[in-house]
Amino acid sequence: MSFTGKYEVESENNYEEFLKNLGLSSETIEKYRNFKTTTEVVQDGDNFTWINTYPGGRTATNKFTIGKESEMETMGGKKFKATVQREGNKIVATFPNYQQSSEIVGGKLVEIATSGGVSYERVSKKLS
């Protein structure tokens, strides 16, 4: 299944609890609360370019190949190295403080991040 497309957040579950668990400030959490984060994905086989756009126009671009170590960036701007894996129809990445899986379900991008027993789900509708 191809991830290619541009997506906009449609719903979120456990948003505040998850971000507090990651240590983000109340100010940052509030800033992101009503912002419709957009995600643009370009997939060419096992090669991905994953671009998230946040409040204020800040973007985080992660380019990776399934099964190969790549330099990545968290939404807070921290750089780290990770190897993204494929698990069935999901792609899974381990970030410094959480693990995230992404998959396409019913044409929507479903991302689930887990940290310290707290899971956050973000569902994004496809724009193009």
Q: Give per-residue pLDDT as tens, 77-127.
A: 788 899 999 999 999 998 878 889 999 999 999 999 998 889 999 999 999
**Residue 79 or residue 4, greater confidence:** 4
Which DSSP letter does residue 45 get? T
Inter-residue contact 100 to 111 (CB < 8 Å): yes
Would you say the C-alpha torsion 26, 30, 31, 33 has a positive or negative sign? positive
Is the pLDDT score of 75 beyond 70? Answer: no
- Residue 25: which pLDDT band, with cuts at 50, 70 and 90? confident
- Report the C-alpha gap between 128 and 109 in whole angstroms: 12
- Report the C-alpha gap between 79 and 38 in whole angstroms: 20
Inter-residue contact 102 to 90 (CB < 8 Å): yes
Domain-by-domain residue ranges, the chain? 5-126
Two tokens, residue 6? 């541009």
Q: What is the mean pLDDT of residues 54-70?
A: 88
CATH of domain 5-126: 2.40.128.20
